Structure 1
Amino acid sequence: MEYLAPGSGGGAELLAPVPGGGVGADGPSPDSAGELIEPSCGDTTAVPGATAAEAGGEEQAPGLLLRLLRRQEIAFAAVGAGNTLLGMALTVFWLKVLGSDWPPAVSVVLAYCLSILAAFVAHRTLVFRVRGHLWRDFGRFIVVNSGGLLLNTVGVQLAVGTFDLPATPATVVVMGLVAVASYFGHRYFSFRRAPEPAAEGDR
Structure 2
Amino acid sequence: MRALSARFLRYGLVGAGNTLLGLGLIFLFMALGASPVVANALGYGLCIPASFVANRHFTFGGRRGSPAKFVAVQAAAYGANLAVLGSLLSVAPELPSLAQLAGVAAYVLAGFLGSYHLVFAGAPAATSRDRSHGDRP
The two structures have a TM-score, normalised by structure 2, of: 0.78
1:82 aligns with 2:17: yes
1:151 aligns with 2:83: no
Mapped contact 2:64–2:120 kept (Cα < 8 A)? no
Higher relative contact order (CA 8 A, sep 6+): 2
* The one of 4, 15, 30 aligned to 1:95: 30
The offset of 1:89, in angstroms, is 1.1
The structure with the greater share of residues assigned to helix is 2
Q: Which amino acid aligns with 1:95?
A: M
The structure with the larger Rg is 1
The offset of 1:150, in angstroms, is 1.9
Matches within 5 A, 1:30-41: none
Gaps of 5+ in 2: 125-137
Gaps of 5+ in 1: 1-65, 196-203
* Distance 1:194-1:90 versus aligned 2 partners, 3 A rule: closer
Mapped contact 1:145–1:182 kept (Cα < 8 A)? yes
Mapped contact 1:186–1:192 kept (Cα < 8 A)? yes
Instruction: Work out the number of aligned pairs and report it.
Output: 120
Give the Cα separation in 2 of the matches to 1:117 and 1:143: 13
Deviations 1:87-109 (A, max 9, x none): 11111011111x1xx43211111
- Kindly report the root-mean-square deviation, in angstroms, between the aligned alpha carbons of the 2 structures: 2.1
* Distance 1:108-1:139 versus aligned 2 partners, 3 A rule: same
